[in-house]
Amino acid sequence: MTLILDGTIAAASIRMHIATDVAEYKKKGHRPPCLIAILVGEDGASMTYVGAKKIACEEVGFIGEVRRFGADISETELINEIQKINLDDSIDGLIVQLPLPKHISEEKITQTILPQKDVDGFHDINMGKLAKGAADGVKPATPYGITLLMKHYGIDVYGKHIVVIGRSNIVGRPMSMLLSAAAPYGNATVTLCHSRTKELSSFTKMADILVVALGKPGFITAEMVKDGAVIIDVGTTRVVDASRKSGWRLQGDVDFDSVFDKVSAITPVPKGVGPMTITGLMMNTLEVYKAKFV
């Protein structure tokens, strides 16, 4: 029988553990962890994501604050705001919701965040630590969340052949580094595929675990996967759906119905990887907070 790797169930369980940890720190007289999200402009999807992160903070006992700025804020003004947060010891984590307006360099903003507060894990220092296999860096939230999801469902990665499709800096590449690290939840043999990979199916068919992050709805079909494989579908693309009030629904990169009977476990879209990205963010915030008391 195929196991559904339900991100909402795993997230609820992990967030309960986070809440218990936070309550213990508070009992010892410490302030709660604090996560700030900066939101620039009025992008609807960004407002939804930031709102979900704030709710998750409240659930686990963090202070979660959204600092909103108009789309006309200058790059220098935004950098000044980030630097103020960098210097504020009462704030543990900072995320700047992307995308930003075109006149602001996302790269410059990402690199302005203090690496110790970069709970999205996008700063070069944190990516560098990940590449070196160092244990003390902040891991990018989506790949970290995926490892938490697989761990929750008892999926072992040690010595497995894992094929990752997509080499973006927020998903595919850090995913490949995390899973191949000589770390407790690592030691997999990882193949990283991308749009220039020749004969992609010859790699996907060899995968014990297939992580798909390319943003092409329904791209992976049954004939591309091995019997009994574990499938992690990161893709979330809005596709037209006239039956919905909104007129759209989210679709993953995997043709769920066609692969379902062939694989041993699979993430649904939505409610698979999505909730785990926020859980990765919460775990990162907890970890940077706890590191202050060691």
Which residues belong to the active site? 53, 97, 120
The residue at minimum Cβ distance from ligand NAP is: 168
Whether 47 contacts 66, CB under 8 Å: no
Pick the stretch among 40-48, 130-138, 212-220, 256-264 that binds ligand NAP (CB under 6 A): 212-220
Residue 171 within binding range of ligand NAP, rule CB under 6 A: yes
Contact residue for ligand NAP among 13, 48, 83, 195 (CB under 6 A): 195
Residue type, 85: I
Residues 257-276 that bind ligand NAP (CB under 6 A): 273-274
- Rounded Cα distance between 61 and 64, Å, is 9
C-alpha distance across the termini of the chain, in Å? 44
- Rounded Cα distance between 129 and 232, Å, is 25
Residue bearing tokens 């559904």? 4
Contact residue for ligand NAP among 40, 56, 170, 211 (CB under 6 A): 170
Contact residue for ligand NAP among 57, 109, 193, 286 (CB under 6 A): 193
Residue 7 within binding range of ligand NAP, rule CB under 6 A: no
Residue 190 within binding range of ligand NAP, rule CB under 6 A: no
| Residues ≥6 apart with Cβ < 8 Å to 138 | 115, 116, 118, 119, 121, 123, 126, 284, 287, 288
Helices (H), ranges, 28-156: 44-60, 75-87, 106-112, 124-132, 141-152
| Binding pattern for the stretch 114-153 against ligand NAP, x by CB under 6 A and - elsewhere | ----------------------------x-----------
Residues that bind ligand NAP (CB under 6 A): 142, 165-168, 170-172, 193-197, 200, 213-216, 234-237, 273-274, 277
